[in-house]
Amino acid sequence: MTTGKKPLIINAFEMGSPGHLSPGLWKHPDDRSPEKKDIEYWINLAKLLEKGKFNAVFIADTLGGYDVYNGPRNLDAVATSGAQWPIHEPSLFVPAMAAVTKNLAFGVTFSTISEAPYLLTRRLATLDHLTKGRVGWNIVTSYLDSAARNTLGGEELPPHDERYLRAEEYLQVAYKLFLSSWSDDAVVLDRKSGVFNDPKKIREINHIGKYFNVPGPNIVQPTPQRLPLILQAGASSSGKDYAARNAEVVFLVSLEPENLAIEIASIKDLAREKYGREEGSIKFIQLLTTVIGDTLEEAEAKYKEYQSYGDKEGAQALFSGWSGFDIGKFGYDEELVYSESNAIRSFAARFTKPVVGEDNQPKKTRDYFANSITVGGTGPVIWGTAEQVADQIESWVDISKVDGFNFAYAIAPGTIEDVVNKLIPVLRKRGLVWDDYPKEGVTFREQVFGTEGEDPSFLKPSHPAHKLRWRAGVSKEEFEKSLAQ
């Protein structure tokens, strides 16, 4: 058994679309992906996850379709296969789920590509109020031209590194609006004197930067967490740097725990050495899809059955969108390690996904990729009995020191039902997950970092935004002096 000291972070990984990471599996008779447009899907999911004492539902998003494959601007494959198409707006699921839960948290993806940071801050702040502090912001910069084209007046996507520079300034604006424009004690609510908010405790932020000019103040009063939990998926080097500086939870995708250990260590080093962030101030979670049976044979048969529903065209469309490279330009038997594209060549060399019933040292052909990502996307799939899956999870934790997992579905929500009903009880017996939430009405940050300490719902002192918070009892002049230091 692993130490059992810290419970693993257990999230469901979802999206407001069918075929999130398992394109084609909506055809399975048990799959309910087409119902994701319905409020009942999300209400039932939230109740299921709270029953399983999950930390959160983590909702992915993109603002455009995967139209790179056989493209550009070709949506045929995703439309036909339902591979992340259509895509509904994720933040709107949250209030419906919050209405039927007390402790489940919500990691919601919002892109910095086009929405005014003042408006996004208002949406996030409203969500933090409505959920009583159960919201996290998964910050993404958008990687699809289709997103840029439709939200930036027809423009193409800005270059990757510039997107991160812009995202960094975007986040600075959000920090200031959340933390530096209202003091903790600005809302007075004194019925006798008639003071709702003390205007001396509200100030403009007057941000003027390269990309944004936002005077403020924030239009929403201080929220339960003061700032939503900051989540980020940092795969590229700019992404890693961004995560090392800002993220409290980093979401990673590795195919082996040994690689995951390296990824985690590199971000931890960067966070400590470049940004002076304290040990333990970033948690790491890994993508995982599980297929559980009563016997190993049953699990294998189930996995094979799932694969049989996979849509290879949809998978190739997702692959082409993720990599930015149209895999349709290859022949089916051509090996991608010989591609002229550096990115594709290095991806193909690194990517080795064991798939039940297949050669574990396969040729990295277009066909191989099309097949291997139809279940669980580019993340690992673990199959077996609940005990066997728990063994492998323990091994992943032992080797990588990962803090938790985003459980993706093969079929929605059946895969997650299996996790709740079959896997979680085994993990609980082994002391790997908590018996219950630490308290009723726990905030997302408390769930992740614990309920101890002076202000467990707020950022750790070494986080760069920690000092931006205008605290109770501090005058505007004192606060502005402290900001200038």
Closer of 229 and 419 to a copy of itself (Cβ): 229
Closer of 197 and 475 to a copy of itself (Cβ): 197
Applying CB under 8 A, does 217 fall inside the site for a copy of itself? yes
CB of 50 to a copy of itself, least distance (A): 15
Contact with a copy of itself (CB under 8 A): which of 6, 152, 169, 391? 152
CB of 222 to a copy of itself, least distance (A): 9
The DSSP symbol for 222 reads P
The per-residue DSSP string of 334-350 comes to -BGGG-S-HHHHHHHHH
Element (H, E) at 58: strand 56-60
Q: Which of residues 306-345 bind a copy of itself (CB under 8 A)?
A: 311
Query: Position of tokens 């740097």?
Result: 241
Closer of 39 and 349 to a copy of itself (Cβ): 39
What's the rounded Cα separation, in Å, for the pair 233 and 247? Answer: 9
Q: Which two tokens stand for residue 358?
A: 């297949």
Name the residue among 381, 379, 386 with its Cα closest to residue 424: 386
Residue 383 contacts residue 299 (beta carbons within 8 Å): yes
Applying CB under 8 A, does 349 fall inside the site for a copy of itself? no
Residue 229 contacts residue 444 (beta carbons within 8 Å): yes
Contact with a copy of itself (CB under 8 A): which of 30, 100, 266, 482? 100
CB of 397 to a copy of itself, least distance (A): 35
CB of 474 to a copy of itself, least distance (A): 17
What's the rounded Cα separation, in Å, for the pair 382 and 385? Answer: 10
**What angle in degrees, to the nearest 10, is found between the helix axes of 160-175 and 117-130?**
60
CB of 35 to a copy of itself, least distance (A): 10
Applying CB under 8 A, does 215 fall inside the site for a copy of itself? yes
Q: Which of residues 58-87 bind a copy of itself (CB under 8 A)?
A: 63-65, 73, 75-76, 79-82, 85-87
What's the rounded Cα separation, in Å, for the pair 182 and 474? Answer: 11
CB of 129 to a copy of itself, least distance (A): 4
Closer of 99 and 265 to a copy of itself (Cβ): 99
Check the CA dihedral 303-306-308-314 and report its sign: negative
Q: Which two tokens stand for residue 50?
A: 């709270």
Q: Which of residues 218-237 bind a copy of itself (CB under 8 A)?
A: 218-221
The DSSP symbol for 7 reads P
The DSSP symbol for 335 reads B
Determine the size of the site formed for a copy of itself (CB under 8 A).
Answer: 79
Peptide bond into 456 cis (omega under 30): no
Contact with a copy of itself (CB under 8 A): which of 2, 6, 130, 367? 130
What's the rounded Cα separation, in Å, for the pair 143 and 239? Answer: 12
Residue 104 contacts residue 54 (beta carbons within 8 Å): yes
Contact with a copy of itself (CB under 8 A): which of 116, 262, 343, 472? 116
End-to-end CA distance of the chain: 48
CB of 82 to a copy of itself, least distance (A): 3
Residue 221 contacts residue 181 (beta carbons within 8 Å): no
Closer of 101 and 339 to a copy of itself (Cβ): 101
CB of 411 to a copy of itself, least distance (A): 12
Query: Position of tokens 């769930």?
Result: 447
Q: Which of residues 174-213 bind a copy of itself (CB under 8 A)?
A: 187, 189, 191, 194-199, 202, 204, 208, 212-213
Applying CB under 8 A, does 156 fall inside the site for a copy of itself? no
Binding flags for a copy of itself, 15-54, as an x/- string (CB under 8 A)? -x-xx----x-xx-x----x--xxx---x-----------
Residue 158 contacts residue 166 (beta carbons within 8 Å): yes
CB of 213 to a copy of itself, least distance (A): 3
Name the residue among 234, 239, 230 with its Cα closest to residue 252: 234
Closer of 27 and 428 to a copy of itself (Cβ): 27
Q: Which of residues 414-473 bind a copy of itself (CB under 8 A)?
A: none
Contact with a copy of itself (CB under 8 A): which of 70, 150, 236, 451? 150
Per CB under 8 A, the segment of 52-60, 93-101, 228-236, 353-361 that binds a copy of itself is 93-101
- Determine phi and psi for 238, rounding to 5 degrees: -65, -40
Applying CB under 8 A, does 280 fall inside the site for a copy of itself? no
Residue 184 contacts residue 469 (beta carbons within 8 Å): yes
